[in-house]
Chains A and B, each alone.
Chain A
Amino acid sequence: MTIPIRPIRPIQPIAADAAPRRLRIRVLRFNPQQPAVAAHWQTYELDDAAGMTLFIALGEIREKLDPSLQFDFVCRAGICGSCAMLIDGRPALACRTLTKNLATEFTLAPLPVFELIGDLSVDTGKWMRGMSERLESWVHQQEEAIDLRRLEARMEPELAEKIYELDRCIECGCCVAACGTARMREDFVGAVGLNKIARFRLDPRDSRSDEDFYELIGDDNGVFGCMSLLGCHDFCPKHLPLSSQIAFIRRKMVAIGWK
C-alpha cells in the first residue's frame, strides 16, 4: 500500500469571520484484534477551527463520529512523544500539528516499523525498551554505592548543557519511522539508539570506553548500517543534531574498528 505524500503547505492565515473549512481526514484503519476486517482508509469530515491541532481533531472524531478509533495522546504538549504518526506520509507529533498547516484533505497512518496496536496506535514502548536493554542506555557508574550525604560530583556547566542537548530525545519514534535502514534491517538501532550512545559517551559519569560502545553498535545493525539518508534528522520533532552525532560516532567507531 502506498501512502500519498504531499508537500507541506505554508501557513495560511484564516480570517476570523470566514466560514470554517470542511476538513476531510483519511485515516488508515486496522485492528489486529479483528483480523477479518481488512486494512482500509476511512474518511472523517469535520469543521476546521482556529488553533485546532490533530489532538483536538482526533478527540472530536472519537467523541462525535467514531468511538472505536484508536490513537495515543498523553501530554498533548509535544513533550512525551506518544502521538507520533504519519501525517500525509511524514512522521510527526500529532499534538503539535495544527490543521491550518494542512490541506483540506489529508491522511493519517500509523508509524511503520513498530508493532501495530490498532489504527494510529503503535507499540513504541516495547521497541524502545528493547533498544535500551540492548544498548544499556544508562550511566555505568564506576562505584556501586555513592554517599548521598556528600556534595555531588562536579561537572563543567558547558558539558552539562551538551549532555542535555542530546538527552532531550523523547523516544517518539519519528526517526525510526523516517529511516531507510530501519525498513530493511529489523534490528537496526536507529538514530534514537545512536544518539543515546553519543549522549552516554559524552557523560563522564559513564565508565564505558569506545571499545565498549563498539561492541554495542560497531556493526550493520549499529552505526555502520546508516546509509546517511538522514530522514531522522529532517523529521526529529525536537531538532536533535542527529546528522552530526551519527557522523561523529561513526568516525569514533571506525577508529576502534581499524585497531
Chain B
Amino acid sequence: MKIVYTDVLVIGGGLAGLRVAIGAKRRGHEAIILSLVPPKRSHSAAAQGGMQASLGNVVKGQGDNEDVHFEDTVRGSDWGADQRVVRMFVDTAPKAVRELAAWGVPWSRVARGDRQVIINGQKVTLAERDEAHGLLAQRDFGGTKKWRTCYVSDGTGHAMLFAVSDRAIAESITVHERMEAIALIHDGGRCHGAVVRNLVTGDLSAYVAKATTIATGGAGRVYRVTTNAVICEGIGTAIALETGVARLGNMEAVQFHPTAIFPAGILVTEGCRGDGGLLKDVDGHRFMPDYEPEKKELASRDVVSRRMETHIRKGKGARSRFGEHLWLDITQLGRAHIEKNLREVKEICEAFLGIDPVEQMIAVRPAQHYTMGGIRTDHTGQSPTLKGLFAAGEAACWDLHGFNRLGGNSVAETVVAGMIVGESIADYCDLLENDAAIATGLVREFVAAEQAGLDRMVSGGGSENASTLRGAMQDIMTAKVGIFRTGADLAAAVSELQALLERSRHIGVRGGGPGANPELVTAYRVRKMLKLALCVAHGAAERTESRGAHFREDFPRRDDAQWLKRTLATWKGDDHTLPTLAYEALDVKTMELPPGWRGYGAKDYVEHPDTPARTAEVQTLRERLREAPRFDVQHALMRYEDLLPKSLRGRNERIDEPLS
C-alpha cells in the first residue's frame, strides 16, 4: 500500500486550494495539492466578470467601503449569511485584490478624464479623477450599491488563476495532477487524509496529513442545465458527507444565473448587464423595469432569474426548436467596448451561437450556476464536527453567501478564504497536539474498503448503467428542484432520487480494462452525486419558505420566525437513502444588520420575534454614535476583528480614506 505523508493535503487545485496551499507553505508546512486536472484548467478560470473588493477608485464607486460591501452581501444572502464571516470577507477582499495585483494579475485600470458609458439604457459621460489614474478600475454588477467589481476585461478568473497558479509554482508547491480523492480517512472525530485514485493508472493510494482541506468547488453537474464545468460534480463535498460526521450546510441554496446562452448553458457574464446590457422579450420589449423598477436588470441573480422565468410563463419568451428563451441585448455598447471588455462573450457567441453580439441579440435563459451550500465550517474554515478537516471556496459553507451569492463575490471568496483558511491551517499544524498520529491499520482498512467497492462495480454482476442513472438524476433536478419549487414536485424528486440511489447499488461497469476506465469513474461518482442531490431536494422539501434562491411557490414568503436557520445535513450510513437534517439558528440579537427588505424582490416577509428589539437597539446605537467614525459604529454593533488572522488585520487605504 502506497502512503504519502504531508503536513497539509489540499484537495482541489482551483483558486481557493492554491491559495490555501501557498498560505500554509509560507508558514513552513509542506502542502500537496491533488487536482483532477492541471490546476490552470480549474473552473475558477470560468469566472468572467470580476471580483468584488471595495476600493472605490472609479467615480461611480466613490464612497464605497467595507460597510457598503457588507450590507450588499447580507441583503444579497437574504439574511442567510453569517454576518461575522461577511465582515471578515469584506475586510480582506481589498487586501486580496491588492496581493493579486502585486502577483501580476493585469487588472483593468482607471484612465483619467471623460469616458462614455451606458447606464440604464442611456449614454452617460463619466469623468474619472486624476488621483485615480492607473489604479484598479471597477464595473457595475447586480445587487451592489456602488461600482465595486474589479476586472480583467472579461477574463478575470483566468488571469487570477494563472497568477496564483504561477505563484504556487514559484513557491515549489507540489501538485499531483489527475488524482481524485474518493474517501476521507477518519476515526470518527478527526480527519487524517484521503484515499486517492490515480485517474491515469486507476491505482489507489493513501495520503495522510495533519490537516486535510477540501476546495473542490461546486456541484452544478447534479443538474442537467448548468454553467458549471464538467468536473464540477461535488465529489469533495460528497466524500465529506460520506464520513457521516462532517455536515453540509444549506445544500438547498442553489443559484441560477440569469444569462446562460441557450440552449448550451454556457455562461455570459453579469458584466454584460453591469456594462449596460438589457434583457428583452419576444417583442423586443425591455421587461425588467416592469418587475424591478429600482434595480431593473441589476437586481440580485435570484430575483432576475425568477422574473425571467415568470415572463416566459406569461408567454413572452422567444421560441426556438429547443424551447423558449429571452434575449440579452448588448448591441448598444458598441464594437469597441465589446471587443475590449467583453471579448470572451464575443468569442463564445461566435463559436456556439454563430452570431456577432455587436450586431445581434444573445439567446439566454437561466441555468444552474452556483452552490451556496457546502461543507459546514466555522469562521476558520474547520469542520466543527470533524477535526482536521477544512474547506474553502465554493465547496465550503462558512457561510458567506447565505441563500444567494452576489456576482463577483465568489472569485473574491476563493482568494479571501484561501488567505484566511491557509493561516488557520498553519496555526492548527503549529500545535504539537495536532501532529499526525494514525495507525497504518486504519489507513489500510479505508483503502481496502474503497478497493472492494470499486471491484464490486467492475465484477459484481450489477446490471445498472451509471450514465443512465446520472442522466435521470440531472433531469429530475432540473425539472423539479429548479428556480420555482413546490412541495409536490420536491416530494416526487426525493422519492425518484431515492429509487435511483437504490439502483446505483447495482451498477455494473461493462468494460473492466486497466487504467483510467472512464466508465468506472462515472459509476463511483454518480453514487456520491445522488447523495448530494438528495441533500438539495430533501432540504428544499423541508424548507417551507422562500429565501434568496430557494423559492417555494406554495410558501412564497420569507419566514424569519420559522426559518432563520441553517440546514445541516449528515449521511448516517451507507444503507440510508436520505440525509439526516438538523438546524442551526441564526442569532438576530447579535446581527449588525437585522433582517428587513432587501431593496429588490418581494417586500413581504414574516418577521423574527427578536427583530424589532434588535432593530431598535441598532438604531439607538447608530443615533448615539452619529458623530463617531464609521469604524467605531461598526465596532459597537458587532465585533469581528479578533476572528481574523493577525497578518490580515488592519484598515484598507482608499483615495478618500488615506491611512495615517
Contact = CB atoms under 8 A, between A and B. Distances in A.
Interface string A150-182: 111111110011011001101100000000000
A241 interface: no
Contacts of A76: 229-230, 266
B160 to A, nearest CB: 11
Contacts of B135: 151-152, 154
Interface centre among B39, B158, B175 (most CB of A within 10 A): B158
Interface stretch (B94-102, B299-307, B424-432, B594-602): B94-102
Contacts of A80: 37, 40-43, 45-46, 229
B352 to A, nearest CB: 7
Given A68-B518, A77-B267, A117-B516, A125 B352 contact: no
A137 B352 CA distance: 32
Contacts of B43: 74-75, 80
B99 A146 contact: yes
A138 B166 contact: yes
A12 interface: no
A133 interface: yes
Interface stretch (B78-86, B441-449, B652-660): B652-660
A128 interface: yes
Contacts of B38: 82, 124-125, 128-129, 171
A255 interface: no
A110 interface: no
Given A32-B515, A78-B351, 11 more contacts: A50-B321, A51-B264, A62-B467, A68-B519, A74-B229, A76-B266, A77-B267, A79-B46, A80-B42, A149-B651, A171-B40
B381 to A, nearest CB: 19
Given A141-B102, A155-B109, A164-B155, A72 B37 contact: yes
B344 interface: yes
Interface stretch (B384-392, B506-514, B607-615): B506-514
Contacts of A139: 102-104, 163, 166
B28 interface: no
Contacts, number: 205
Interface of A: 16, 31-34, 50-51, 53, 62-63, 67-70, 72-82, 96, 98, 117-118, 121, 124-126, 128-129, 132-133, 136-139, 141, 146, 148-157, 160-161, 163-164, 167-168, 170-171, 200, 203, 205-206
Nearest to B177: A125
B200 A34 contact: no
A76 B135 CA distance: 34
B231 A74 contact: yes
B136 interface: yes
B347 interface: yes
Given A70-B518, A72-B37, A129-B175, A151 B653 contact: yes
B27 interface: no
B109 A156 contact: yes
Contacts of A68: 511, 513, 517-519
